[in-house]
Amino acid sequence: MLPQLLVSGLVTGSLYALVALGLVIIHKTSHVLNFAQGEMAMVSTFVTFTLLETLHIPFPWAFLLAIGVAFLLGAMIEFALLRPAKTPSLLGLIIITLGIQQILYGTAGWMWGYDTKAFPSPLSDTKVYRVGGVIISEVSLWMLTVSVVLMLALLLFFRYTRMGIAMRAVSQNPTTARLMGVRVSWIFSLTWGIASVLGAVAGILIAPITFLDPNMMLSPLLKAFAAATLGGINSLAGAVVGGGILGILENLVGGYVTPELKESVAFFVIVLVLCVRPNGLLGRHYRRRV
């Protein structure tokens, strides 16, 4: 039973990690806690649903088009709603993202309705593979594979590309990066676009095994905040580690203790980490010397 719970926890944790990575990327670059991350992912998932069900576009093309829409959505939110704010406070930025969350939620309900819908997927949840004593479904295998590939691609992007290095420079010191010729405003839009894509992929992977409605990303977003808090809100590696640990903890509690406490694990993790290690497992605390 233990190996099965561990593998299932890693699959679930990989999805939490994708959403958490979007939160961490935005926070590192523009120091914003994006409470609209879940609704951005939800809207992109509904776009995919429309492309599949209404326009009858094949799944691979619908997926790519939805990813493009997700990137534009994230970039436009930063350009149209975040950038015009003149030296806002931390609370002001949080209120702006909460406002964006409600706008996207209401828009999705108006366009697609609040009824639960079945998301069409080419993957099967009944076809399973057996590896040793562990059983994993086809959809779970693809969820884990896509998440890991996307995380590795993101790591390579930040480490070896000029744009990724520029994003790292802006996250460390926007003023110095601007003096070195980096277009900081473009980097902010790119950051929001990438974060939106990460959320969209997570939403498209989650929808086939749960449901599709405007509330679909509420629980994953809370779990992603817990994962980012556990790993460190300013650490990309911490988001991945935090997502994996949280997914495994949830499954262990649900399997060995009681399923009723499974949903409470994320909040317990948030409270415990903030009390014991506020910077997270891999987070860093920067001290400013005067």
Beta bridge partners of 136: 129
pLDDT tier at 288 (50, 70, 90 boundaries)?
Answer: very low
Residue 233 CB contacts under 8 Å (≥ 6 apart), including other chains: 23, 24, 27, 280, 283
pLDDT at 47 exceeding the cut of 60: yes
Taking Cα atoms as reference points, which of 73, 51, 78, 50 lies closest to residue 62?
51
Residue 194: its pLDDT value, please? Answer: 95
130 SS3 class: strand
| DSSP conformational letter for 212 | B
pLDDT tier at 235 (50, 70, 90 boundaries)?
Answer: confident
What integer is the mean pLDDT of 58-85? 93
Residue 234: its pLDDT value, please? Answer: 85
Percent of the chain at pLDDT > 90 equals: 45
Residue predicted with more confidence, 103 or 88:
103
Taking Cα atoms as reference points, which of 103, 77, 98 lies closest to residue 35?
98
pLDDT tier at 285 (50, 70, 90 boundaries)?
Answer: low
Q: Is the dihedral of CA 96, 102, 106, 107 positive or negative?
A: positive
Q: Taking all residues of the chain, what is their mean pLDDT, rounded to a whole number?
A: 88
The model's pLDDT over 22-36, given as tens digits with 9 standing for 90+, comes to 999 999 888 888 999
Instruction: Write b or e for each residue in 47-71: b if 16 or more Cβ atoms lie within 10 A of its Cβ, otherwise e.
Output: bbbebbeeeebeeeebbeebbebbb
117 SS3 class: strand
Beta bridge partners of 212: 117
The model's pLDDT over 124-172, given as tens digits with 9 standing for 90+, comes to 667 788 877 788 888 888 889 999 999 999 989 988 898 889 988 888 8
Instruction: Write b or e for each residue in 11-43: b if 16 or more Cβ atoms lie within 10 A of its Cβ, otherwise e.
Output: bbbbbbbbbbbbbbbbbbbbebbbbbbbbbbbb
pLDDT tier at 120 (50, 70, 90 boundaries)?
Answer: confident
